[in-house]
Homo-oligomer: A and B are copies of this chain.
Amino acid sequence: MSNESTQTPATPLPYGMPISLHQARLVMQAAEEEATRHHWPMVIAIVDSAGHLVMLHRMDQAQHGSIRLAQQKAETAINFRRSSKAFQDLLASAGEGLRVLSMEGVSAVEGGELLMSEGKIIGAIGVSGMLPVEDTQVAQAGVEAVVLVQ
């Protein structure tokens, strides 16, 4: 069951228009607020539906490695139309799942989530800096903000 969720769905989600700077601001604001509330020094990156970077904010004292990792998580989500957690789960299942490690550019660390609008992918958010589950929590705050825009 969890295995299914880590594979390409029968009907892939369609790519839509690229997220606008205005929409990205709302997503970023919600994610930053969630991080700030917990005093988590994080890097938050937003890419558009083509995978191009639209916005990146690094909070004071965020670890250097998170600058690249936040982008990699967002790129993984947009490039394969699923959360980076899907790859984390697949990898954790071992066996054939280990093949994830041979896929160039894929981050198998949770914290990368798709940004959807009207059933289409408009971008993705990637968060890095704390525990993976906390990264996801902040990313999720961003995901929910883009829903409210519509």
Chain A residues packing against B (C-beta within 8 Å): 7-8, 12, 14-15, 20-21, 41, 50-61, 63-65, 67-69, 72, 76, 78-81, 87-88, 91-92, 94-96, 98-109, 129-132
Contacts and interface: CB of A to CB of B under 8 A. Distances in A.
B103 A69 contact: yes
Nearest to A53: B67
User: How many of these chains are in the complex?
Assistant: 4
Nearest to A54: B58
Given A56-B55, A64-B52, A67-B52, A91 B80 contact: no
Given A7-B131, A58-B54, A63-B12, A98 B91 contact: yes
A102 B87 contact: yes
